[in-house]
Amino acid sequence: MAQCCINPSILSADFVNLEAELRRISNADAVHVDVMDNHFVPNLTLGLPVVQRIQAVSPVPLDAHLMIADADRWAPAYADAGVASVTFHVEASIAPIKLARELRARGAKAGMALRPGTPVEPYLDMLSELDLLLIMTVEPGFGGQSFLDLTLPKIRRARAAIDGSGTGVALQVDGGITEETIVRAAEAGANVFVAGSAVYGADDPATAIDRLRAAGSRPVSSGAHAVPES
């Protein structure tokens, strides 16, 4: 499995001082940018113009998570902006395979996200079209929520499918990630972790990133990635 990556979410950052907040996480693997439209989720954050400015000043690549309706129409523009990775929600896409291919064609890694209640099985045949699969471990829309352990079996099933496919797709989790929950998520098979409050709520975000990376990189017990019996 690929190395543990920590992508802090700026949803928990000081929006008035975003450039300074980005410098505080320069040791991160990427910065997770939550784009919300108050339609797909009940919250409104930022849009393409702000993402373009973040792209211009960020010391690390951008990992854009689009929690927006009509992803097929809007997602490609984020790839055109130079964002390294663009993740759309499958629940907001009419043609996810076509969209993933278009994102890749425009130079971005293609990511697909699933809400906690969305089963992963119908989309496992798509793995070869993706660079990243995001399993939401909270309901999307707000930061500061508690990790949903009920998503762990889905993470295990996704990991088994990725390993079996030989695709090398990154398995990302987002929501409620702390030094404690990252261990459970890593044992289930995740290797990319979005953390908001655990990073920006710390006195030293860079140290918090290092601690999370260490916790998520611990050797997993034998059989930790096995799929539980139904």
Residues tagged active-site: 34, 174
**Cβ neighbours for 121, distance < 8 A, ≥ 6 positions apart:** 157
Q: Which residues contact 11 (CB under 8 A, 6 or more apart)?
A: 32, 34, 45, 143, 196
In eight-state DSSP terms, residue 102 is H
DSSP single-letter state for residue 17 = G
- Reading the block at residue 57, the tokens are 């000043």
Nearest to 174 by CA among 51, 65, 23, 75: 65
Cβ atoms of residues 189 and 1 within 8 Å: yes
